[in-house]
Amino acid sequence: MFLPIIFAMILYPVLAVFFIIFVWKRTSRKLLRGLAIAFAILLPTWDAVLSAAFFYSACPYYSKAEIYETAETDGIYYEGYHRDEVFIRKNWDGREVNRVLLGDRDIEKGYQYMESQIILKKYYDEKEAPVIPAVVYRCIEGPKDTKRPEEVFSECMPVTEIRSRYLVKSEVKKVALVEIDFLKIFDRSTGQLMAEYREIAKQPYAGAPYYPFFTWLNWHGDIFKANEYISCPEKSQYFSFQYEVLKVKK
């Protein structure tokens, strides 16, 4: 894997120089010569340049965290990205169980249940199956692992009715290496917007010494891709903002 990458990084500058020479020999126009140089430089790095320009210009103005109303609840209902998949896994006791990503977190915080609209099933053999139409799953605390009693494991099951009065709706939009995350919280009984959160994040480049060489093709796979994002605000609340709005019912 490494040798083809290194070879490509050596080969591209050579080809780029030949391309610029080719253009310069065929035209004396400064505009065309400048475009040739810009093209050779930006072709492997355009996503990094565009992402950095967009992120750092939008960063001071784009983030938002507004709470208009708070409430207490036994559980939260989710729709949207990050909680729209159910994972079929083997539990600690060998049973096959359903789990929603991040579902354990709500139970750990003291909510009696969490609910989520599911559009995709993922199995432990890496197979996937779309859920059409979408189905709501409710997660509750599962049996304790006798070897790890301090850990919380949720178990989820499909339900026909949504129990929670409150909806947390999430959305993610991506442009090049920039990700824009939206979170809105509603009172389902009235349709009232209770709070909204917005952040902008930038994915790091593939990593030295490959940075930022043709990352937009993803030709290197995920080997060098960092998992952490640079975000505005600096400390992301994307996965925790709802807990400031919807408190655990006492």
pLDDT in tens, 218-236: 655 544 444 467 888 888 8
Q: Kindly report whether the global pTM for this prediction surpasses the value 0.75.
A: yes
Q: For the segment 170-220, what is each residue's pLDDT rounded down to a tens digit?
A: 999 887 778 899 999 999 999 999 999 999 988 765 554 455 666 666 655
Angle between helices 30-42 and 2-26 (to 10 degrees): 180
Beta bridge partners of 187: 166, 192
Q: Which two tokens stand for residue 205?
A: 């480049």
- pLDDT above 80 for 10: no
Q: How does pLDDT run across 85-104, given as a tens digit for each residue?
A: 999 887 777 788 888 988 88
**What is the C-alpha to C-alpha distance for residues 212 and 179, in angstroms, rounded to an integer?**
17
- Give the C-alpha separation, 168 to 196, whole Å: 9
Cβ neighbours of residue 228 closer than 8 Å, sequence gap 6 or more: 204
What's the mean pLDDT in 156-167? Answer: 96
